[in-house]
Amino acid sequence: MTEPTSRQDRLHELFTAALHLPSAQQEPYLLRSCPDDPALVREVLALLHAADAAPDDFLTPPDPPSFLSKATPHPPAPYDPAKDTLPGRRLKGRYTIQHRLGEGGMSVVYEGAQDHPRRRVAIKILRPQFVSPKVLRRFRDEPEILAQLNHPHIVRVFEADVEDFGAGDGPQPYFVMEYVDGIPLTQYAHDRRLPLRQRLELFAIACDAVHEAHQRGIIHRDLKPGNILVTAEGQPKLLDFGVAKILATSGLAIEHTLTGELQLIGTLQYMSPEQCDVGLSEPQASARANSLSPAEPPVSGIGPMGGSPNAPGTSSLCDESPAQSVENPKVSSRSDELPALNPQPLNPEPRTLNPQPQTPIPDPRPPSLDTRSDVYALGVLLYELVTERLPYDVSNMTIVSAARTICEAAPTPPSHFDRRLRGDLDAIILKALEKNRAHRYASAAHLEDDVRRYLSGEPTTARPPTWRTRTVRWMRKHPKLATAAIAFSAGVLAWIPAMLAWERGFRRGMQAVPWGFKKAFNDSSVELMSFDGRTLAGFAAGNGGKVRVADVLESSRSGGRDLRVVVGLQSQPLTRIPCALTMYRWNQPKQALEPVWELHQPDPGPLPDPHDRKFSPAAFRFANGCIADIFDNKESKGDEIVIVFQGGGFTQSVLQIHDLDGRLLYRIWADAQFEEIIWQPDSRLLICFGGDGSAFRRARQGMPEDERAEYRHVKVVFAFRPEFDKLYDTFLCLEPEPIPGTIAPEWCRMIGPRNLVDACFDHALLDPIEGGGFRLQVIGRGEAESMGSLSIEFGPDGSLTKRCPDSDNVKSALVHAAPESILYQFAHRINLLRHPPIRDEWVPAKGKGDAAERLYYLRDCEADPAGGPPRTHSTETCPLNAYSVHGSPYRWARLLRDGKGTSTGRSQPPSLDTPSSPP
Amino acid sequence: MPVYDPPPITRILELVQTGDESARRELWRRTYDEIHAIAAAFMRREIAGRTLQTTVVVHEAYLKLFGHACADFRSAGHFFSAAANAMRQLLVEHARKRRAAKRGGGIGTVPLDGDGFAAEFDRDPELELAVNEAMTLLEKEHPRAAEVAKLRYYTGLTVRQTAEALAVGDRTIEADWRFARAWLYQRLGGK
């Protein structure tokens, strides 16, 4: 060894030796040991000081890969009753510890006897080697939680305290609870060969117990057969709240956000997709697979319940944490936050991004894990109870792929194993196992209810009865009435031919509507807008909660049979309808639209409100969108849905991209309105036309009203590039100079001068053109109700490539009448693109129509390829209020307003303004 | 029918134990490739999650490389050594990229990582690079303490597991860890 190295070694040695001394003795000790080198002493002292000063989180190691624990050549010593000093020991002068029942990762459970009243108790003691503040807190929470729960089927807690058990570990916390002498639910059912009915009855009781916990705001999080023991009397008892989670809304006064870290906790097979997914996908998640041995298949697979992890009798009272069991791997780690982001199409939680997003910050909001995760676990339990198998074969999978299976694979219907389960039970179980928790039972009570309905032969909510089963059920209940009804129906048969005739007539009336949508169209609250698979909704007119069918997707995958419809709800704050968008699927056999998923308004979360009001999701409504293949197939299969929610009363929007399952893939907020969006696959840019909201950003920054007036309502075309899986909580900002903390678009072009504050564009249309560019066509009103149009072509980089001859100057284009050709072409396009299906059905609204407000719409017009006037066209008039009845698709027709009414003379509407002579 | 059978990882570990330098390089290469591939797959969301956690990556790499064969912990120690180096390199590469993006980025200030490194990996890039530099110095001056620090910090081994991997006592590891922490803390200017 060289000289400097040995000095370094000496430094290390001295440091190590002095480390354990009380700080006052360190310096004298060092001076004594090293009298010749005061500099070294100073160095060691400085290091010792640094050791003290380093904060706990300095160089925090990640969680240990504890799958190694099995591979260690020194497994923990097997339990040796001879060495256990605890049995026979007295506690608090009331309890006698008797013998060990079992142990879990964190704790040991003993059976004990209480003197008065005399009864058997279970005493759970925290293992000294696991005492960390976190574990301690969780351990102490458990009796607190249990004390809140007063239910005959939940284990009761008697008391909790700390005691020095004399093993040199100092005082250890423990608690005393009811002794449950039982065996795991599934094993009980298996051993006794219980008939289906009794299994379901036991299960219903367990649901009730879980629901009791939920009522108190407690999620169990580790429901599995081993935690629901059935006593010799056949009474199930729910136990082990060692990883239970207290919901923020509950009244429990336990500060329960243990740390900022995330956790994957629970037993894998019973874990809901949202529990699984988070551990592997959340930042800072400390997923690890405890008790995963490389020597063994990491996850036990489908198997008869004989393989149930918890041995009978040992009661698995202590099974709450990283158990040593190989067969029953638990994924666990530290802390308590479990925000489930995916797959969860509903209410995509805006993820909190740091304003300076370089450093991730823990999400301070309460985790989104909720009681429905327990409902899922109950579903697995029910599955296992009736089929004696687990829903997923995750044998031989690593934790990650097992989690993926849980998140993605569809479970085999229970009836596959037992045909008796067909129908309602299948439906109940599959509903409880839904990946998307919004589709699960809302609570354990609902699940219980459905199971009980099934038991009593009533229709279940999971599977609304078919007319046949309903009839059969009804006939069983009311045999006399049934006879009468049959006689009556015979008479009714005579009517059938007449009814059929009526229906044929009805169908004829609906001819113009595509075959798939009669039902939807028939519903007056639904409006069809587009079938071209491109435009979701170009119009943002608020219709007070009116539903519009905004688009139809025809999936090429299934030859057009898998039709889907997106319905955007123009909800207003007043209507208090939270849902903003629903995806329906066309059910061909039933000839009906069925909701698949729905999206709620995005939560603006931490974003600043320009007006200092309460800034809630209700302030945003669905405004615009399109469907396109934004992310290539590697990332996301198939098309994506681009949706814009527009803030009401202020120019702020949020654009979100979802996949067809509703999963949120991208989000960006914008100080802008999105009036038209197209996707340019060549340049991979979203091209948007809309209004710049910089005025509102300036308002937020405190610019006085008069100064910011010139920034208002500037029309812009801009482009940005969506990125897969980015959820920004920052704004896309359309300022010429980049502003820190915001995102700049790829490019942005202003349409019209800034001071054109009154310019209002009635319609804009973006169209892709050859070479990756696009064309913007706008019809709008300029100052003093003048009208005009413009047509501009842009290159993919936003460069101006061509203008319409008379729109060299955008402002002049606005104040001059558009040439007929453009107008017709434009109108024609709108017609074709947006509302062919309802064109023929459109009936002018009844009621008084002001003559001045009569308007026209074009029908069947065709653009002349040579640019001349349309070849055939017709006009009709209808009162303006029809417009509000039917929504905005015909808004463009205002251009063709009655000349007697409002035109100002400076610019007349084009030659079609001959209202007195509709064809 | 496999035409070419690469030597099983356990064989490589045996060779590493005999001091075979090429086996060491092979182990490092395979570990790095595996860790990199897993990390990249995570990033692309091909595996369940959006983001990943150091431990999960190491864990997956371990299972991938070792299959379900029982590995003797002492040889696994070599794996972890290689894994620690691989993780370190990955984190440093990432931190460099992020720092570059931060300085030259221009557009906005939101990280727009091409490789989509997950937030878990997004430790403060400056700190990460500083730790890396200090770690290199520590390796020179106190190799054993540095080894301990790397195993703990980059692969998340516990004190116990580190002790087993390096075949020394728990107390030694504990002292080395505290020494390394103090030393690095001091070197990083108290923060």
Chain A contact set for B169 (CB, 8 A)? none
CA–CA gap between residue A317 and residue A227 (Å, rounded): 8
Residue A206 confidence (pLDDT):
92
Question: Which residue of chain B is at minimal alpha-carbon distance from A358?
Answer: B111
Inter-chain touch A281–B131, beta carbons under 8 Å: no
CB atoms within 10 A of CB A111: 20
Which of A645, A725, A632, A624 shows the shortest CA–CA distance to A684? Answer: A632
Chain A contact set for B185 (CB, 8 A)? 50-51, 53-54, 58-59
Q: Identify whether residues A167 and A218 lie together within a single domain.
A: no
Report the residue from A47, A61, A360 with minimal CB separation from B182: A47
Inter-chain touch B155–A62, beta carbons under 8 Å: yes
Report the residue from B52, B55, B111 with minimal CB separation from A63: B55
- Sheet of A787-794, strands arranged across: A760-768, A774-781, A787-794, A800-803
Q: Identify whether residues A423 and A449 lie together within a single domain.
A: yes
Inter-chain touch B120–A341, beta carbons under 8 Å: no
Q: How confident is the model at residue A482 (pLDDT cuts 50, 70, 90)?
A: confident
pLDDT tens string A208-264: 898 888 877 778 877 888 888 898 888 899 887 776 666 543 333 222 222 222 233
Residue A587 confidence (pLDDT):
60
Q: Identify whether residues A403 and A523 lie together within a single domain.
A: no
Interface test with A, best of B157, B172, B185 (most A CBs within 10 A): B185
Q: How confident is the model at residue A136 (pLDDT cuts 50, 70, 90)?
A: confident
Q: Is residue A427 part of a domain?
A: yes
Residue A400 confidence (pLDDT):
58
Chain A contact set for B108 (CB, 8 A)? 730, 738, 741-744
CA–CA gap between residue A692 and residue A750 (Å, rounded): 9
Residue A151 near residue A212, CB atoms below 8 Å = yes
Range with the lowest mean pLDDT among A189-198, A480-489, A702-711, A725-734?
A702-711
| Number of alpha carbons in the 13 Å side-chain half-sphere of residue A75 | 10
Residue A26 confidence (pLDDT):
84
Domain finish residue from A178, A200, A215? A178
Q: Identify whether residues A202 and A147 lie together within a single domain.
A: no
Written as tens digits, the pLDDT of chain B (191 aa) is 333 445 566 677 777 777 777 777 777 777 777 777 777 766 654 443 334 566 667 767 776 676 555 455 556 777 778 888 888 877 777 777 766 665 543 332 223 233 334 444 555 677 778 888 888 889 888 888 898 988 888 877 778 778 877 878 888 888 888 899 888 888 887 64
Domain finish residue from A35, A53, A71? A53
Of B110 and A685, the structure prediction assigns the larger pLDDT to A685
Range with the lowest mean pLDDT among A158-172, A784-798, B148-162?
A784-798
Distances (CA, A) of A149 to A218, A219, B45: 9, 12, 41
Q: Name the most confidently modeled range: A351-355, A420-424, B43-47.
A: A420-424
Range with the lowest mean pLDDT among A93-102, A518-527, A608-617?
A518-527
Helix-then-strand count for chain A, H and E = 21, 33
Q: Identify whether residues A740 and A675 lie together within a single domain.
A: yes
Q: Identify whether residues A165 and A213 lie together within a single domain.
A: no
Inter-chain touch A65–B119, beta carbons under 8 Å: no
Q: Is the pLDDT of residue A916 over 60?
A: no
> Which domain, by its residues, includes A258?
182-344+371-455
Q: Is the pLDDT of residue A159 over 90?
A: no
Interface test with A, best of B43, B44, B53, B158 (most A CBs within 10 A): B53
CA–CA min distance B91, chain A (Å): 13
- Determine what percent of chain A is predicted with pLDDT higher than 90: 2
The pLDDT of A117-124, averaged and rounded, is 87
Residue A708 near residue A699, CB atoms below 8 Å = yes
Inter-chain touch B156–A64, beta carbons under 8 Å: yes
Chain B contact set for A738 (CB, 8 A)? 106-108
Angle at A247 between CA A241 and CA A248, to 5 degrees: 145
Of A133 and A359, the structure prediction assigns the larger pLDDT to A133
Q: How confident is the model at residue A871 (pLDDT cuts 50, 70, 90)?
A: very low
The pLDDT of A57-64, averaged and rounded, is 68
Residue A774 confidence (pLDDT):
85
Inter-chain touch A724–B45, beta carbons under 8 Å: yes
Q: Is residue A906 part of a domain?
A: no
Q: Is the pLDDT of residue A203 over 90?
A: yes
Inter-chain touch B182–A15, beta carbons under 8 Å: yes
Q: Identify whether residues A189 and A222 lie together within a single domain.
A: yes
Chain B contact set for A723 (CB, 8 A)? 112
Chain B contact set for A293 (CB, 8 A)? 70
Q: Is residue A763 part of a domain?
A: no
Q: Identify whether residues A21 and A144 lie together within a single domain.
A: no
The pLDDT of A259-271, averaged and rounded, is 46
Q: Is residue A274 part of a domain?
A: yes
Q: Is the pLDDT of residue A701 over 90?
A: no
Of A529 and A472, the structure prediction assigns the larger pLDDT to A472
Interface test with B, best of A2, A10, A15 (most B CBs within 10 A): A15
Q: Is residue A406 part of a domain?
A: yes
Q: How confident is the model at residue A388 (pLDDT cuts 50, 70, 90)?
A: confident
Inter-chain touch A71–B73, beta carbons under 8 Å: yes
Residue A204 confidence (pLDDT):
92
Residue A254 confidence (pLDDT):
29
Residue A618 confidence (pLDDT):
65
Residue A456 confidence (pLDDT):
81
The full DSSP string for A814-852 is HHSPPPHHHHHHHHHHHHHHH-HHHHTT--PPPS---GG
Inter-chain touch B153–A5, beta carbons under 8 Å: no
Q: Identify whether residues A35 and A157 lie together within a single domain.
A: no
CATH number at residue A333: 1.10.510.10
pLDDT tens string A596-625: 777 777 777 767 665 555 566 666 766 666
Q: Is residue A837 part of a domain?
A: no
pLDDT tens string A306-331: 333 333 333 333 333 333 333 333 33
Q: Identify whether residues A124 and A241 lie together within a single domain.
A: no
Range with the lowest mean pLDDT among A42-46, A446-450, A464-468, A764-768?
A464-468
Residue A48 near residue B182, CB atoms below 8 Å = yes
Chain B contact set for A12 (CB, 8 A)? 142, 145, 179
Cis-peptide, bond into residue A312, ω within 30° of zero: no
The pLDDT of A454-465, averaged and rounded, is 74
Chain B contact set for A363 (CB, 8 A)? none
| 3-state DSSP helix/strand/coil % of chain A, to nearest 5 | 30, 20, 45
The pLDDT of A38-65, averaged and rounded, is 78
Range with the lowest mean pLDDT among A658-667, A899-908, B115-124?
A899-908
Interface test with A, best of B45, B107, B110, B177 (most A CBs within 10 A): B110
CB atoms within 10 A of CB B40: 15
Q: How many CB pairs under 8 A join A and B?
A: 203
Range with the lowest mean pLDDT among A504-508, A809-813, A905-909?
A905-909
- Confirm whether the ipTM is greater than 0.85: no
Inter-chain touch B51–A285, beta carbons under 8 Å: yes
Of B186 and A406, the structure prediction assigns the larger pLDDT to B186
Chain B contact set for A289 (CB, 8 A)? 59
Of A340 and A780, the structure prediction assigns the larger pLDDT to A780
Inter-chain touch B53–A51, beta carbons under 8 Å: no
Q: Is the pLDDT of residue A837 over 60?
A: no
Residue A898 near residue A882, CB atoms below 8 Å = no
Q: How confident is the model at residue A94 (pLDDT cuts 50, 70, 90)?
A: confident
Which of B85, B39, B43, B89 shows the shortest CA–CA distance to B64? Answer: B39
Helix (H, G, I), strand (E, B) or coil at A750: strand
CA–CA gap between residue B191 and residue B186 (Å, rounded): 8
Q: Identify whether residues A641 and A600 lie together within a single domain.
A: yes
Report the residue from A288, A408, A730 with minimal CB separation from B110: A730
Q: Is residue A736 part of a domain?
A: yes
CA–CA min distance A349, chain B (Å): 15
Report the residue from B47, B71, B181 with minimal CB separation from A71: B71
Report the residue from B48, B108, B124 with minimal CB separation from A742: B108
Question: Which residue of chain A is at minimal alpha-carbon distance from B114?
Answer: A723
Q: Is the pLDDT of residue A12 over 80?
A: yes
Q: Identify whether residues A576 and A520 lie together within a single domain.
A: yes
Report the residue from B62, B142, B157 with minimal CB separation from A8: B142
The total number of structural domains that make up chain A: 4
Interface test with B, best of A19, A21, A398 (most B CBs within 10 A): A398
Of A432 and B56, the structure prediction assigns the larger pLDDT to A432
Residue A679 near residue A641, CB atoms below 8 Å = no
DSSP A2: -
Inter-chain touch A285–B120, beta carbons under 8 Å: yes
Q: At what angle do helices B9-17 and B73-104 cross, to 10 degrees?
A: 100
Residue A815 confidence (pLDDT):
33
Q: Is residue A474 part of a domain?
A: no
Q: What average pLDDT is seen over chain A?
A: 61
Q: Is the pLDDT of residue A47 over 80?
A: yes
pLDDT tens string A540-572: 222 322 233 333 333 333 333 445 555 554 433
Chain A contact set for B45 (CB, 8 A)? 635, 724-725
Q: How confident is the model at residue A527 (pLDDT cuts 50, 70, 90)?
A: very low
CATH number at residue A145: 3.30.200.20
Residue A1 confidence (pLDDT):
42
Rounded to a whole number, what is the distance in angstroms from the first to the last CA of chain B?
55
Domain finish residue from A155, A178, A201? A178
Report the residue from A285, A358, A408 with minimal CB separation from B53: A285
Q: Is the pLDDT of residue A207 over 50?
A: yes
Question: Which residue of chain B is at minimal alpha-carbon distance from A7?
Answer: B141
Inter-chain touch B183–A47, beta carbons under 8 Å: yes
Residue A458 confidence (pLDDT):
76
Q: How confident is the model at residue A378 (pLDDT cuts 50, 70, 90)?
A: very high
Question: Which residue of chain A is at minimal alpha-carbon distance from B95?
Answer: A358
